[in-house]
Structures are given as structure tokens and as C-alpha cells.
């Protein structure tokens, strides 16, 4: 009998999950990430959270087989090194696996957060039973993890699967967080959708979006759904554009890697059929071959817990 902890570190909150050796979640805890503390103190803060998690489940630390981390940035998986992390600048360049192993006193292993979520959905979630699957999270950004021939793809520097920055547009009108204008994120993330709506409103397009959101600066995917229900043409245009960006991204995945399962999660994906009916329609227009050899679009079954499940799976893969 042993236990595994899976820790999903975000820019604002960190989720900790304790799993038994059958990969059943037995205890869960969410703490504030406190990025202002800096790397060493943040790691200590997470270690305290781990102690709290173990105490709540009445499990001794000696029963822990290991701890897996999902991190919001590029992780050099073999080295355990965090290469980039816009929301955790003090963590960049640190060997997370080594530093956490030394502090926590148990073997620790780290990977990118979208990669671990992909692993979770593939192993115990909506993608279970598939072999070639991409997990896509659509929220303020667009993240992705790819399973090919049953294996999670890392690539040379751990940066495989950066779907959000695939070039899918040449409109040049909305800037991505990375500074360029052609990325999936600029078309289809919550931020990209809101920025496009604001641009069109500034151009003089009439819409009920500013009124629904209480000001143009507060427009989000949720308001776009509300405005569509009221027949707002701009909201429809914003959503069509977002669906086009994702359909092109999935087209690229199908052509390049021939994945046939897309599992989707993240806040914007909660638009559900409103968004995905449009994506699927456009996807099949782009690639008629898929009518015979289809792509399956499935909502995440683990939701916000995909990160902790997947982080734990790094330590002990499910059979």
C-alpha cells in the first residue's frame, strides 16, 4: 500500500491531490500560490500544503511513493528543468524535480501542466481507450498536450504541443500574448475573443456586449454566449472567428499527427456545443477525409482535477 501526490501549480492557486495505489483520489486541497514569495518560499509553502493534505487523510509521509508536479510553462522533462513560466518568473531555470525532492524528502517529478492533463484524460478520463489523442485547454490562453501511439510527446526541449501558438491566421488584427498576430490564441482564447470584440466595437460595430459586460474592458466568453442568445451579430462573428481558429488548429493536428481524439477543457470550452458545433462543422469542411475517418471531439471528464490526476500519473502510470 502506498500513496502518490499530484500537485498542479498555477499562477494564482495550487491544487494538491492525494491518490492511493489504485489511483483513486482520497484527499484534495487548494491553496493560494503566493508567487510574490519567490521560488524557495513558494516551494516551502507547497510542502506545508502537502503536510496538511497528508494529515487530513491521516497518511504518514513515509507512505508517499512520490510527488508529481504540473507546471505552467515549458518543462525539460528529462532534466526536470523549468525553461519558461510567464506567471512564475522566480521558478524559471530551477531544477524543480531535484529541488522538490530535496525539500519534500520523496522522489519528485515535473512536467508541463497541459501535458499532465493530457496524460490524465488519456489514462483515466474522457480519452481512455484512445491511442492518438490531443488534450486542448481553452481559457485565457490555449494549451495542449499530445499523446501519439500511446505516448506523451515531449520533443527536444519539452515544448511539443504548443498548439496555442500555431499560425492559423494572417489577419494581423489581434495580438497574441507572445507578441505575434497569427496564433490560435489570438483568434480563439478568451483573451483573443474579447480583444477582437473590443477592436470591432472601436471600429463602430454596434453590439450589446459592452452593456452586458458592464463595459468593454469586462467582456468575456460568458458575455459572448449571453449576447448570442439575444441574437447579437458581433457576438456571432466573434464566436465564428474563434471556432475557425480552433478548426484550423485541429485540421493541422489531424494532418500532421493524425490524432483522432480531441479532449477539450478550460473555461472557454464551457461554451460547449455553442462553440464545438461550429468547430466540427468547419473541421469537416476543411478535411473531407475525416467524414470517413473521423475526429472525435470529447469534453474533459476530469475537469479542473485533470492536473492533479495527471501529475500523480507521472509518478505511477496507470496500467
Chosen residue from 26, 103, 128, 178 binding Zn ion by CB under 5 A: 178
**Nearer of residues 7 and 168 to Zn ion, judged by Cβ:** 168
**Nearer of residues 95 and 252 to Zn ion, judged by Cβ:** 252
**Nearer of residues 50 and 134 to Zn ion, judged by Cβ:** 134
**Nearer of residues 17 and 164 to Zn ion, judged by Cβ:** 164
**Nearer of residues 141 and 158 to Zn ion, judged by Cβ:** 141
Chosen residue from 176, 187, 253, 259 binding Zn ion by CB under 5 A: 176
**Nearer of residues 54 and 186 to Zn ion, judged by Cβ:** 186
| Contacting Zn ion within 210-269 (CB under 5 A) | none
Q: x/- contact string, 179-198, with Zn ion (CB under 5 A)?
A: ----x---------------
Strand order in the sheet with 151-152: 151-152, 142-148, 133-138, 261-265, 296-299
**Nearer of residues 133 and 176 to Zn ion, judged by Cβ:** 176
Distance of CA 116 to the CA centre of its chain: 9
Smallest distance from Zn ion to CB 245, Å: 11
**Nearer of residues 176 and 227 to Zn ion, judged by Cβ:** 176
Sole residue written with cell 466595437:
201
Q: How far apart are CA 185 and CA 140, in angstroms?
A: 8
**E strand or H helix that includes residue 247:** helix 233-257
142 binds Zn ion (CB under 5 A): no
Is-contact 158 76, C-beta < 8 A? yes
**Nearer of residues 178 and 287 to Zn ion, judged by Cβ:** 178
Chosen residue from 165, 223, 241, 278 binding Zn ion by CB under 5 A: 165
Strands (E), the chain: 3-9, 13-20, 25-32, 64-71, 74-76, 81-84, 108-112, 133-138, 142-148, 151-152, 261-265, 296-299
Give the interface segment with Zn ion, choosing from 119-127, 160-168, 218-226, 286-294 (CB under 5 A): 160-168
Smallest distance from Zn ion to CB 132, Å: 25
Give the interface segment with Zn ion, choosing from 33-41, 63-71, 177-185, 224-232 (CB under 5 A): 177-185
Smallest distance from Zn ion to CB 176, Å: 3
Distance of CA 162 to the CA centre of its chain: 11
| Contacting Zn ion within 273-292 (CB under 5 A) | none
Cα torsion at 86, 301, 55, 40 (round to 10°)?
Answer: -10
Count of residues in contact with Zn ion, rule CB under 5 A: 4
Q: Which of 316, 319, 266, 264 is nearest to 18 (CA)?
A: 316
Give the interface segment with Zn ion, choosing from 175-183, 193-201, 212-220, 286-294 (CB under 5 A): 175-183
Q: Which of 98, 68, 74 is nearest to 87 (CA)?
A: 74
Q: Is 13 left (phi over 0), alpha (psi -120 to 50) or beta?
A: beta
Give me Rg for the CA atoms of the chain.
20
Give the interface segment with Zn ion, choosing from 87-95, 152-160, 173-181, 306-314 (CB under 5 A): 173-181
Cα distances (Å, whole numbers) of residue 111 to 44, 126, 154, 234, 298: 19, 21, 9, 39, 24
Residues that bind Zn ion (CB under 5 A): 165, 176, 178, 183
Amino acid at each position: 500500500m502506498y500513496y502518490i501526490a499530484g500537485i498542479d501549480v498555477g499562477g494564482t492557486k495550487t491544487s494538491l491531490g492525494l491518490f492511493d495505489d489504485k489511483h483513486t483520489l482520497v484527499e484534495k486541497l487548494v491553496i493560494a500560490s503566493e508567487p510574490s514569495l519567490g521560488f524557495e518560499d513558494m516551494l516551502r509553502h507547497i510542502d506545508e500544503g502537502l503536510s496538511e493534505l497528508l494529515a487530513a487523510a491521516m497518511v504518514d509521509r513515509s507512505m508517499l511513493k512520490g510527488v508529481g508536479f504540473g507546471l505552467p510553462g515549458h518543462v525539460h522533462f528529462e532534466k526536470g528543468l523549468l525553461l519558461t513560466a510567464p506567471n512564475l518568473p522566480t521558478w524559471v531555470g530551477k531544477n524543480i524535480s531535484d529541488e522538490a525532492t530535496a525539500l519534500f524528502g520523496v522522489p519528485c517529478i515535473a512536467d508541463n501542466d497541459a501535458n499532465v492533463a493530457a496524460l490524465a484524460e488519456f489514462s483515466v478520463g474522457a480519452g481512455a481507450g484512445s491511442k492518438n489523442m490531443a488534450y486542448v485547454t481553452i481559457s485565457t490562453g490555449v494549451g495542449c498536450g499530445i499523446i501519439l501511439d500511446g505516448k506523451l510527446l515531449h520533443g527536444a526541449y519539452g515544448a511539443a504541443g504548443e498548439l496555442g501558438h500555431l499560425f492559423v491566421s494572417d489577419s494581423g488584427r489581434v495580438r497574441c500574448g507572445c507578441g505575434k498576430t497569427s496564433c490560435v490564441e489570438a483568434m480563439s482564447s478568451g483573451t483573443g475573443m474579447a480583444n477582437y470584440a473590443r477592436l470591432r466595437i472601436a471600429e463602430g460595430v454596434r453590439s450589446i456586449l459592452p452593456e452586458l459586460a458592464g463595459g468593454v474592458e469586462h467582456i468575456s466568453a460568458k458575455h459572448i454566449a449571453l449576447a448570442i442568445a439575444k441574437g447579437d451579430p458581433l457576438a456571432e462573428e466573434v464566436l465564428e472567428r474563434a471556432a475557425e481558429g480552433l478548426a484550423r488548429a485541429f485540421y493541422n493536428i489531424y494532418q500532421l499527427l493524425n490524432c483522432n481524439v480531441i479532449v477539450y477543457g478550460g473555461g472557454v470550452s464551457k461554451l460547449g456545443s455553442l462553440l464545438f458545433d461550429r468547430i466540427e462543422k468547419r473541421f469537416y469542411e476543411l478535411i473531407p477525409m475525416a467524414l470517413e475517418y473521423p475526429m472525435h471531439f470529447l469534453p474533459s471528464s476530469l475537469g479542473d482535477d485533470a492536473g492533479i490526476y495527471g501529475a500523480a500519473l507521472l509518478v505511477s502510470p496507470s496500467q
